[in-house]
Homo-oligomer: A and B are copies of this chain.
């Protein structure tokens, strides 16, 4: 038996999210991985993913693990998986992991990116890969608002109604904005210990409304205070969101 930590990228636009659904005809990243790993193991296998990314959400560096019945080299796992996976999923790296390693429970921080296209019309090549906001934005206002997200807070106002976690307290360690003028894009970069269902897409929606002056600059402080999901209505679309990296303690 050998536990493998596997880092993957995927283009989320043709998937109904990461997690297996109990509906026929739904295509998920986890199902595709389970199928290939089961074939390699010659028995039914289930992979564990660090993050249950939603339908249409992408990954540069999602992490999964599985305990395999035989000991294959890291390279054999990588080549075996990539030769059988559909082209919208790519295994980037395979590492041996101790049997105690669990891609979800062992992670202590995650980084997400959110790409916003600010051009007047939707670029045909970006329609699945960015959000789109063509109203006026004052980036100074967004930069003033971003530090209000930092630290440990109750983010109940930023959780989708379907959220079922025990607590809505999360810690954000980094929240940055980068303008990419030659591509007419903004890039939001968020890092934290974990995020609620839809939290980043709701935070981006609030930040864009702050930039557009339809909310006060420090409205995030009020939203954190009121703990009311109804106050933040605009959820930025899934197409702009990327799970960029999952962080773990160094393995032995």
Contacts and interface: CB of A to CB of B under 8 A. Distances in A.
Contact of A90 (B10, B90, B123): B123
Contacts of A89: 124
A124 B82 contact: no
Contacts of A90: 121-124
A87 interface: yes
Contact of A11 (B11, B82, B87, B127): B127
Bin the interface of chain A by size: 10 to 19
Contact of A127 (B58, B88, B129): B88
B124 A88 contact: yes
Nearest to A79: B121
Interface of A: 9-11, 58, 82, 87-90, 121-125, 127, 129
The 10 closest A-B pairs by CB, nearest first: A11-B124, A87-B127, A88-B124, A90-B124, A11-B125, A9-B124, A10-B124, A87-B122, A90-B121, A82-B121
